[in-house]
Structure formats: C-alpha cells, structure tokens
Amino acid sequence: MLAHSASSVAEAVGKLGGCAVEEKLDGIRVQVHRDGGTVRVYTRTLDDITGRLPEVTAAALALPGERFILDGEAISLDADGRPRSFQETAGRVGSRTDVTTAARAVPVSAVFFDVLSVDGRDLLDLPLTERHAELARLVPEPMRVRRTLVAGPDDTPAAEEFLAGTLERGHEGVVVKGLDAAYSAGRRGASWLKVKPVHTLDLVVLAAEWGHGRRTGKLSNLHLGARAADGSFAMLGKTFKGMTDALLTWQTGRLRELAVEEHGWGVTVRPELVVEIAYDGLQRSTRYPAGVTLRFARVVRYRDDKRPEDADTVATLLAAHPGVTP
C-alpha cells in the first residue's frame, strides 16, 4: 500500500479524523515473508532481495511467529543514531554489491509498520487498529515504527508535535493513517497520507537540454547552480519537472537569448536567470562539484525580482542539511 500526499498534518488529520501518525522512514521498502525457517525479502515491486539484506532475514527469524508477511523499511543509522542518506541505504541492494563488505559499511535494521498475514490468515481487509494489534503481538517495539494516535482535528497540535520530533530525529516526515482503513495492496490508498516539509532554493540556470516527445523543440531539462565560495556557480543537479506548456515556451525563448554556446544536447547560458526550486532532500553525489545533489527537484517559479548574486549558496544549502556531508 502506498500513500497520497497532504500539504500539512492539519490537512491530513482533517481528512481522516481518528488516525495514527507514524514516522516516514527514508529506507528500502521491504515486504518480509516467513514460512517456518525460510524467509524471503521483497521490494515493493516484488523483486527478491533476500540475499542482499541478511540482517532483515535474521531479524525475521528471531521473531516468535512461524508464518507471516510484514510490511516495513530497511534503514541504516549512523554512529549518532540518525538515518543515513537514502542513496547510501539503497546501495545495499545494488546488483554488483559485495554483500558482506556492504553489510559492514552500511548495516541495516528492519522496522515494521504493518502485517498482512499471520499463520495463513489474510489480514488485508481488517482495519488498521486490528492489524497493528497483531503486529504488536508479533514484533517487539524497537522493531516497530514509532507512532502516536490522534483522536481527530482537535488533536492536531499533538500530531504536529510528533512531526517536529520526527524531523529532529532526521527522518523525512510522517504518514497519517486512518484507523478504520483496510490495506490496499499495491495501490495508493486515500487512507494513507504522507506529510513532508518542502524545501525551496533560489538557484541559477546554467544550461538546458532539449526535451523529447511532446517537449521536442523546447528547452526542458534545466542545469541548476548555487553560488560557490569563490563566486562561481556549482551545479547541484537537473530538473524538467513542474513546468507548464506556457512556461516551457517562455523558457525556451529566454534561454536561447541567453545562450553562449549551443550543443547537440542543448545550450549553455549566461548565469542570469534565477529560478525557485522545490526539493525533497539532499544526498551525496560524486557527479556534481559540490559533492551533493537535490532529490526530486522541481520548478516553482522564475524569480525576476532576484539577481544571480541573490541566489542561495552551497554553504547555506549544506547548513540546512547537517546530516549530509559531501
């Protein structure tokens, strides 16, 4: 089951009423099947990754039940108990990864938030309250996702306090779940709403790539830069998301005016256009000069009220994400 998005905890609680507010962990989504002494670990797309996560297999075998299917996350924590970046954790399931070496470098722990089957009983149609009771019977608290219960909109401050604590612990947000909801396998359910803070930056367009398909003939994929300490611009990544057809048309014309070099793939431009970019997080990257890149970057709007020297700096970005070091 997957979650839709809500803009705030208040919106989510207002839609769902009585609900559970759970930490949203930025790890590897896993579905763990145990049948006696045999454990299989699958991704949410049902790729078998059992051999790549021996810690998850060991954790499942240590549980008291003999037959079950659990839904959860495999996460990795650093020495301070804060979550490592998704990029590091996701590297554990790479096809070329040496499992033993990777497990020493980036150990993972299994954390569960739902149970789909126990002893051959299908629990999908049960309400969340009953499924969680089964989960609590089967899985000890340290292996269950942290959560709080909210009676309804009047309890929104408690939900907001829980979100604040979750963010302080380094996690990416919360998932708000209706207590009466069944489990919708493989689909986005209206009873699960994820809430994550949206970060924004004012960045400078350094180049743009020609689009494909319905964007053929339009400069679509923007190369984004922040101000570096030496006064230059350090590229942080690319995005083609968040653009309307009207914006694409305007953007193409303006970028061609600013072009200083044309390539088969697109154009390099004078660094004059400032664009507001929303993004979900920061991760390490050896591809870009600052050593980091933005996750899920998308265009909010162009800032014609700002000059390139008003754009955000690499130092400001890194200070806002102390858990990510280049």
Q: Strands (DSSP E) along 83-162, which ranges?
A: 109-118, 121-122, 147-150
111: number of CA atoms within 13 Å, CB side? 20
Lookup result for tokens 């003939």: 217
> 40, 229 in Cβ contact below 8 A?
no
Is residue 130 classed as helix, strand or coil in its secondary structure? helix
Quick count: other Cβ atoms within 10 Å of Cβ 96? 5
Reply yes or no on whether 177 is catalytic: no
Instruction: Give φ, ψ of 102 to 5 degrees.
Output: -65, -40
Please report the DSSP string for 150-164 in residue order: E-SGGGHHHHHHHHH
Strands 67-75 and 109-118: antiparallel
Q: Cα 10 to chain center, whole Å?
A: 21
Q: Which of 24, 177, 218, 238 is catalytic?
A: 24
Q: Which residues are catalytic?
A: 24
